[in-house]
Amino acid sequence: MKKRSSVHSGAMQKASSMRIGPGPEITTLPNGVRIVSEYIPDVLSFSLGIWIASGSRDEEKGKEGAYHFLEHLAFRRTEYRSTKALADAFEQMGAYSNAFTTKEHTCFYVRALSKDFAKVYSLMAELTLSPALDSRDIEKERNIIIEEINSCEDEPEEVIFEAGEQLLFGSHTLGHPITGTIDTISSMERSDLVKARAEMYRPDRIVIAVAGNIPHELIVEYAANTFTMPKSSKSKVIRRKPRIQKVKQEIQARTFQQGHVLLGRMTTGLFSEERYRLLLLNIILGEGMSSRLYQSIREKHGLGYTVYSSLDLFTDSGTLYMYTACDNSNIERARDTILNECNRMMHSAPVGKKELERAKAQVKASIIMSLESMSARMQAIGRGLLEEGKIESVEETISKIDAVTEQEIADIIDNYCETDGWSTVLIESHHA
């Protein structure tokens, strides 16, 4: 393995640090790479994530799926190790490594024992900074990703949510599948991937996050000696905000065992004052057995086994969905039952204090229990710094949740639950 170049003399002294209360600490290297860590001395493990503020919405037109392709290739081979050698190196320490790509970022992460931090960090830096991008590996991974895309076609929820995103976002990049399409992946050249990677791995778009029994100063030392790329001279990436599309309905016929119903609409994003109100609305609508949709679709009418709502917030927009699967003959009835529940929330059965307090308790318990997981802590501080530029403390988050009033929930329901504001995808099952 080649010796890595060391940081220039004095760079460590120039890095700026600040404390965020008693929890996470942040350091920014001279080139713009940010390190955030939360030291938990009472555990024997750690979780590390290398976060990059580049996701599928940032890809060049016609090259959709490039960032996800690069995520795959990082584990295929580096300049120093084969795929098998990488896997062996991680697993001989009992470490678990993986990665994911989303609409707005990419993350390479690992869970391991604290005593193995030096070796594990070196491996993670290697696979993110030194992928081989070998032409033979590209062809192998191209085939694997095409199979991944094909496998999604066998998953009803994948199919219907992808269709829903296309209805809500139209031609905007947020409507594109993260994996790309068979056409874009089939035509992807090595030069396209090299270009995408150069745009993706800018130091000002990288956050290294660690939670566990690892001192912050040690993480900074390692990062300063590996993430040594020069400061980017390019201007800040400006994302184009999506426009609200007209309400639409799409009906598909598929060889699935059940029919499927999806209602969706756009919301405001992470920085909106509606953020925590939307979070609570989603809980009330379709998270858990006491939710409105579960009680109506499953318990009262017996229309389906799977029913839920989901909320995704991006930096400038978001999506709120309601979904169920049912017998083909009940598709329209299930859709109408969901819309009727929205109507009831607006008029005859508004959310009261008890229901709101139950939703708040669910959210707060989930947040507090996540503190017992190093992976959850790492994701919270990594995403917080990457997406919002700051890390909100648990106390701040809980305070904002507690501050939501019945009137604010009534207002958010009025804004989002009118029955004519939902785009709809219906999938009818046709047996082969």
Q: Which of 34, 108, 111 shows the shortest CA–CA distance to 67? A: 108
Q: Is 148 a catalytic residue?
A: no
User: CA-based diameter of the chain, in Å?
Assistant: 71
d(CA 326, CA 403): 37
131-167 exposure pattern, b = at least 16 Cβ within 10 A, e = fewer = bbbeeebbeebbeebbeebeeeeeebeebbbbbbbbb
What share of residues in the chain are helix, strand, coil (percent, to 5)?
45, 20, 35
| Helices of type H across 304-428 | 331-346, 353-370, 374-383, 394-402, 406-416
In contact, 164 and 425? CB cutoff 8 Å: yes
- Alpha-carbon separation of residue 253 from 156, 259, 261 (angstroms): 11, 9, 12
Beta bridge partners of 312: 319
Residue among 71, 162, 274, 341 flagged as catalytic: 71
Question: Under the phi-then-psi rule, with left for phi > 0, alpha for psi from -120 to 50, and beta for the rest, what region is 94?
Answer: left
Element spanning 211, H or E: strand 206-212
In contact, 112 and 94? CB cutoff 8 Å: yes
Active site residues: 71
